[in-house]
Amino acid sequence: MNITTFGLDIAKHVMQVHWVDGQTGEVRRRALKRSQLAAFFARQSQCRIVLEACGGGHYWGRTLSALGHEVRLIHARHVKPFVRGNKNDAADAQAIWSAAQQPEMRWVPLKSEQQQAVLSLHRVRAQWIKVRTQTVNGLRGLLYEFGVLLPGGRQAGVKAITANRAEIDARVPALMHGLIDGQLQMLRQIDERIAAIEAELQGLELQLESARRVRQIPGVGLLGATALAAVLGEDAKGYRNGREFAACLGLVPCHRGTGGKVAVGHLSKRGDPYLRTLLMHGARAVIFHAKTQSAWLQQLLARRPFNVVVAALANKMARTAWALVAHGREYQAGGFAKVNSPNT
């Protein structure tokens, strides 16, 4: 039985719906207020609802799935080519509907509340780290105006202020004394907040089986394990294979070709930049600090540039993480040990 497909353009207050009547073939459009959306789809028979994976997309995906409908999320990049004429909500809803008709369209996995909550902790931690860096650099610039030169690096700069505070107070006006105290106090509070978030992530790592499995991969630490577990979910079924997961993180090269000639270029850098950064840093840590390196990695380092090797190892780490979660296996160097698991 063919079910009706609805293209849904969500917003803060007014939602636009586009669909084609299965009996008459009539093109239908309707604008709904936020409070009317759930009630509208509750009256519909089982259907497929397609919406962009934008702000609030996962929330509405869970809400509409609870009504018994099939919900698909689509990346906005895949919708844009189908927008015809002037851009408005109705045109966006029609473009979403048109994109959903493509047989080889790739969908964005729907995240649970737990997955979004874990990723929110990561986002807030990254935000506090950015604020901390800005605060230290701002303080370094202000003191430089009075002839006080701080060493590079966050920890070295704060340590120099604490160790040479009497000398610094003698070189700057009295108005600066309270300002320096306030900035140092703010840095201490930021450090406490970051430590509290990391403690929460450590507790989550013990609760999430997928995070425990992924943590065994060399180069994957607390942040990488919890972030990968949040993106992959409990069974990693949102991705067909590890290769697709690595591609969704932008860890594959772009390529373009014509006339049978294909040129491979730089990394695509699509998908989540935060998770891609964690994997790239983890790969660098393995190359620099691992006591033993695999033969594959040694051969790659001998014949390829360093940054290419880092990207290749990060790609391999992402694919390994998908395999461990999707098949419920434990990591072992050189292969995987199969264990009893409902996911196998």
What digits encode the pLDDT tens for the residues 203-251?
999 899 999 999 999 999 999 999 999 999 989 999 999 999 999 999 9
285 to each of 184, 260, 293, how far by Cα in Å? 31, 39, 12
Question: DSSP assignment of 144-194, as one string?
Answer: HTTT--PPSSHHHHHHHHHHTHHHHHHHS-THHHHHHHHHHHHHHHHHHHH
Which whole number is the average pLDDT over 180-204?
96
d(CA 177, CA 159): 16
Decide: 85 and 91 in contact? Cβ < 8 Å. Answer: yes
Spell out the residues 6+ positions from residue 336 whose beta carbon is closer than 8 angstroms to its own: 323, 324, 327, 329, 330
pLDDT of 343 higher than 60? no
Where are the domains positioned within the chain? 5-100, 113-207, 236-338
- One-letter amino acid at 181 equals D
More confident residue, 344 or 115: 115
**Does residue 322 carry a pLDDT above 50?**
yes
With beta carbons less than 8 A apart as the criterion, state whether 27 and 7 touch: no
> How far apart (Å, rounded) are the C-alpha atoms in residues 272 and 205?
20
CA 172 to chain centre: 44
Going from the C-alpha of 93 to that of each of 59, 89, 126, 157, 221, the distances in angstroms are 18, 6, 34, 52, 41
The CA R_g of the chain, rounded to the nearest whole Å, is 25
Confidence of residue 339 (pLDDT cuts 50, 70, 90): very low
Structure-block tokens of residue 25: 């073939």
Pick the CATH number of 5-100 from 3.90.700.10, 3.40.50.280, 3.90.550.10, 3.30.420.40: 3.30.420.40
Across the chain, mean pLDDT equals 92
User: Distance (Å, rounded) from C-alpha 229 to C-alpha 326?
Assistant: 11
Q: What is the mean pLDDT of residues 315-333?
A: 93
Q: What percent of the chain has pLDDT over 70?
A: 97
Please say if the pLDDT value at position 341 is more than 60: no
Whether the predicted model's global pTM rises above the 0.75 cut: yes
Instruction: Examine the pLDDT at 199 and tell me if it is beyond 90.
Output: yes
User: What mean pLDDT comes out for the span 91-115?
Assistant: 94
The region of weakest confidence among 63-67, 84-88, 167-171 is 84-88
Mean pLDDT of 16-41: 93
Q: What is the mean pLDDT of residues 15-28?
A: 91
Whether the pLDDT of residue 108 is over 70: the answer is yes
pLDDT digits (tens, 9 = 90+) for 259-309: 888 888 888 888 889 999 999 999 999 999 988 888 999 999 999 999 999
Say if CB 162 and CB 138 are below 8 A apart: no
* pLDDT over 70 (residue 314): yes
pLDDT tier for residue 340 given thresholds of 50, 70 and 90: very low
